[in-house]
Each structure stands twice: as structure tokens, then as C-alpha cells.
């Protein structure tokens, strides 16, 4: 479940669309909160340098939802676990795979109990019990685009005089 935005080149980005790298997500999760989670983790990596990130689905044993002719199981949630070797901290973003997705931050120990997967088996248990300071989940550009209160702002920014001013600003900033 590597996001294409984390890959350096076009050929690597194309690889992220292989069926082995994806799970079914609602459009609301995929274009909303999940983009925000990916953005938050990307920002953390930019700030701290090296991170270990493991991403996966969580299935509800009582939910037999599937999609497509091959009956691909639909996860009840998706998660992204982070280990920061510099701070020796861990944390997990967990999002419900629904049309009104909600996300929270939990410990790796809680994730392990929830999905029965330990994403960092070599990390001491004491580090898995505590949640490091995690960046807030950022707003997705897709979510902003579909937010009624933001549409007016987007229209204002699209106005020709605003676009002209932005072009002039870019010229000034790049002139040297």
C-alpha cells in the first residue's frame, strides 16, 4: 500500500497501481482522510529523515463484504504504522473504511491486538505501548474541493486577476 506520491520516478509511481499494492477503500476514505494520513507521514519523514512505515488493512470477521467478480474482501479499516528510529517512537493512524471515515492515532500494541499483526517485531514492547507525537492528519485537496465552504475560496483563487497576481509573484520569486 505504498502511495504513488512517495515514489521518486514515474515508473516506480506506476508500480504502485498494481493490484498487489492496493485494497478496496471507499472514495471518501481514499480521497479524503487517507490522503491526509499519507501527507502527515510524508511530512514527518521530511522532518525527521528515515522512518519505517508499514501499511495494511484490517478485516472484520463478521463482515463478508466483497467487490468484483473475484470477490475481493473489503477491509473494515486501513492502518499506517510508523517507527522513528531517531526518537525510537512509534504510532499508528487507523481509519474506518466507510463513507464517513474517521481516523485516530493508536499505539502499535493496540494495533497488534486489533489486527493480529505486529508491524515492527524487532522493536521493544515498551516502545510499542506509547504513541509518539504524531502530526495531525492534513486536509486532502480532494476533500477541500468537495467541501461546500471551501468552494467559494477555490472560485476566488481561480479568478483571472488572482491567477495573474500569482504568476507575477512566481516570476519575482524565480528571477535571479
**How far apart are alpha carbons 79 and 93 in whole angstroms?**
6
Global confidence as pTM: 0.73
CB 96 within 8 A of CB 74: no
Q: Residues 110-132: pLDDT tens digits?
A: 999 999 999 999 999 999 999 99
CB 96 within 8 A of CB 102: yes
Domain ranges of the chain: 4-137, 139-176
CATH superfamily of 4-137: Extracellular Endonuclease, subunit A (3.40.570.10)
**How far apart are alpha carbons 4 and 136 in whole angstroms?**
21
Question: Once rounded to an integer, what is the mean pLDDT over residues 52-70?
Answer: 91
Amino acid at each position: 500500500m505504498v502511495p504513488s506520491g512517495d515514489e521518486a520516478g514515474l515508473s516506480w509511481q506506476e508500480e504502485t497501481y498494481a493490484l498487489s499494492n492496493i485494497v478496496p477503500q471507499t472514495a471518501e476514505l481514499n480521497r479524503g482522510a487517507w490522503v491526509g494520513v499519507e501527507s502527515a507521514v510524508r511530512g514527518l519523514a521530511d522532518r525527521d529523515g528515515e522512518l519505517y512505515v508499514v501499511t495494511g488493512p484490517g478485516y472484520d470477521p463478521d463482515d463478508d463484504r466483497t467487490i468484483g467478480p473475484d470477490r475481493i474482501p473489503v477491509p473494515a479499516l486501513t492502518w499506517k504504522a510508523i517507527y522513528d528510529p531517531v526518537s525510537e517512537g512509534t504510532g499508528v493512524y487507523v481509519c474506518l473504511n466507510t463513507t464517513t471515515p474517521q481516523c485516530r492515532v493508536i499505539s502499535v500494541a493496540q494495533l497488534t491486538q486489533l489486527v493480529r499483526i505486529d508491524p515492527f517485531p524487532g522493536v521493544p514492547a515498551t516502545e510499542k505501548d506509547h504513541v509518539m507525537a504524531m502530526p495531525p492528519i492534513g486536509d486532502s485537496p480532494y476533500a477541500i474541493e468537495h467541501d461546500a465552504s471551501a468552494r467559494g475560496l477555490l472560485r476566488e483563487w481561480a479568478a483571472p486577476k488572482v491567477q495573474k497576481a500569482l504568476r507575477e509573484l512566481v516570476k519575482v520569486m524565480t528571477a535571479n
